[in-house]
Chains A and B, each alone.
Chain A
Amino acid sequence: MTNIHPGTVGQAEPQRPLRPLLDAVRVSKHYGSNEVLKDVSLQVAAGEVVCIIGPSGAGKSTFLRCINRLEVPDAGEVWVDGQAMGFEERDGKLYELTERKLSKQRASTGMVFQHFNLFPHLTVLGNVMEGPVRVQKRASRTVDAEARAVLERVGLGDKIDSYPSQLSGGQRQRVAIARAVAMKPLFLLFDEPTSALDPELVGEVLTVMAGLAADGMTMLVVTHEMGFAREVADRVVFMADGGIVEQGTVDEVLVNPREARTKRFLERVLA
């Protein structure tokens, strides 16, 4: 596995800190009468790779989007590195932040979307530099060098001046990963990053993701790629009907699941 991480976040300690990096506490969300998330709690330690699996409609995407607050949970809290997402903690209360301040908070998290969502009017390099330059206000000279290095490491060093429309799906998703990584986030959220790809392009994206994991990046990955989960995940979470049905190591969940629903799901996807 090539080292594809810019190295600044890479040297995470293997032992778990006392406080989890990400702590979602009893997150609930409904759309109309549809209870999409029911009291979902999940902790992720620094350096951990957690894969979320589950049937379509289980609420996996909604849960991920509640974590970086693209979606506002109806109830529950999401703590990232000791800060409540979307809130400011003052004298025992949580005061909701303005959209501006929430944006600042979000900059410490990264997200990779199923449909890439690259900025079509910016070049590959422009996409990767957008966050560090505009949000983190870092000098574009240093950002430029870093962005090129990140793109080099996802194997797109020769596509720097291309526009997204000129790239294959696999290349676009690697740019999207580079765009998220360039922000040096505390963790990365992946929402089915390979589901929109032609089968022959899935591998190149999974390789990049496995490289990130090997470098110690904290990752929360919604995926249907059981092979990836088996090889890379420290922990597997099975979600269904807006809740976590069971979670554990690869062996516990993917090999010897306890719950009947997990068994049925695995039989279906592995058939």
Chain B
Amino acid sequence: MSTPSARESVRELLPQVRLRHWGRWVIAAVILVILGALAYGASQGDISWRDIPYYVISPIILQGLVNTIILAVAAQVSAVILGVIIALMRISENPVAKWFAAAYTWLFRGLPVLLQILLWYNLALIFPRLQLGIPFTDVVFVDLSTNAVMTTFVAAFLGLMLNESAYMAEIVRAGLNSVDRGQIEAAQSIGETPLQRMWRIVLPQAMRVIIPPTGNDFINMLKGTAMASVIGYVELIRAANNIASFNLQVMETLIAAAFWYMVIVSVASVGQSYLERSFDRSDRARGGPTRRARRRLARDLVTPPLVRSHP
């Protein structure tokens, strides 16, 4: 114990006066005042709040809710499948497939979804009949009226799905590229076929990159179905408008629709984090730190407790 630093200090501990964060109190107070004013303002509005719960469970709104969910799920699921196919074409060795995939993405990502929906819905204006047959012969297997095929659902589905599939192709491609080349080589070295490599080795690892943006896209898809109201598909907003066209309670019915959007978006968010977790176990021990514990750890690393100014 000869070095000075190893000796114990004789200094008395002095009382410490912590920094007061006056600014935080002021900002919090301002926010609460603004919220209070808004709530008061809302209560003064010419709106019958009492009717809203009735609209929330009205059969027309519920049918709109079901139609919204059907359209969103159908479009998203198809977009994922198509997106995987386009992504595989994009990374393939075939120059024509590569080119096609790039052009596909460029086209369907570039056009506004609403425009695509309108184009599909009005297809009959340029192609009154849809035929499947052998060109330059009289052989026709299928011959349908375009208007019979292109219902509001089909048009909205095509518009939303094709646009989303272009985004999915990019997401899947990023996911596949995120997997180390050595993984494919290791799978090759034990004799796995291309399909096995993709299915057993590459996709499970790519999922960790693919799922978060796909979840975000699905949430956007749930809301994007609102565009189908323009061509008369009875999803939530159209359902709300249909009621309002009888009784003029426009805001009440729209707020009922808004309620359901919040519910399905929240449910989708929970589902997303659940999925993410189940594909995230690769770098985690069974019984190792949970995701929340790791998040806390990461936060603590950013703000080491020792230098915190606040207890």
Residues on A facing B (Cβ under 8 Å): 68, 70, 99-100, 103-111, 113, 115, 117-121, 130-131, 134-136, 161-163, 165-166, 176, 179-180, 183
Contacts and interface: CB of A to CB of B under 8 A. Distances in A.
A124 to B, nearest CB: 12
B188 A103 contact: yes
Contact of B189 (A100, A110, A121): A110
Count chain B CB atoms within 10 A of each CB in A121, A165, A179, A183 and give the residue with the most: A121
B284 A130 contact: no
Contact of B283 (A117, A163, A179): A163
Interface stretch (B94-102, B104-112, B151-159, B191-199): B191-199
B125 interface: no
Contacts of B191: 103-108, 131, 135-136, 183
Nearest to A106: B191
B289 to A, nearest CB: 12
Given A111-B189, A121-B205, A163-B284, 5 more contacts: A100-B194, A104-B191, A109-B189, A163-B282, A180-B189
Contact of A113 (B182, B204, B282): B182
A135 B191 CA distance: 6
Interface in B232-286: 281-286
Given A162-B285, A163-B282, A117 B193 contact: no
What 5 A-B pairs come out closest when comparing CB atoms? Answer: A107-B191, A131-B190, A117-B186, A111-B189, A117-B182
A105 B190 CA distance: 10
Nearest to A162: B285
Contacts of A131: 190-192
A140 to B, nearest CB: 14
Count chain A CB atoms within 10 A of each CB in B186, B196, B201, B205 and give the residue with the most: B186
Nearest to B280: A121
B285 A100 contact: no
B185 interface: yes
B183 interface: yes
B180 interface: yes
17 contacts: A100-B193, A100-B194, A106-B191, A113-B182, A117-B183, A119-B187, A121-B205, A130-B192, A130-B200, A131-B190, A131-B192, A134-B192, A161-B286, A163-B281, A179-B186, A180-B189, A183-B190
A159 B148 CA distance: 63
Interface string B267-311: 000000000000001111110000000000000000000000000
Given A99-B194, A135-B196, A113 B186 contact: yes
A179 B185 CA distance: 13
B190 A70 contact: no
Contacts of B282: 120-121, 163, 165
A68 B186 contact: no
Nearest to A131: B190
A172 to B, nearest CB: 12
A119 B190 CA distance: 12
A113 B190 contact: no
Nearest to A112: B189
Nearest to B191: A107
A68 B190 CA distance: 10
Contact of A119 (B186, B284, B285): B186
B188 A106 contact: yes
Given A117-B180, A119-B183, A166 B285 contact: yes
Nearest to A110: B189
Given A115-B182, A119-B183, A134-B200, A70 B283 contact: no
Contacts of A161: 286
Nearest to B279: A121
B78 to A, nearest CB: 27
Contacts of B286: 161
Contacts of B186: 111, 113, 117-119, 176, 179
B193 A99 contact: yes
B206 to A, nearest CB: 10
Interface string B185-227: 1111111111010001100110000000000000000000000
B126 to A, nearest CB: 43
Contacts of A70: 185, 188-189
Nearest to B181: A117
Contacts of B205: 120-121
B283 A165 contact: yes
A70 B192 CA distance: 12
B92 to A, nearest CB: 12
A134 B199 CA distance: 11
Contacts of B201: 119
A166 B281 CA distance: 12
Contacts of A106: 188-191
Contacts of B194: 99-100, 103
Contacts of B193: 99-100, 103-104
Contacts of A105: 191
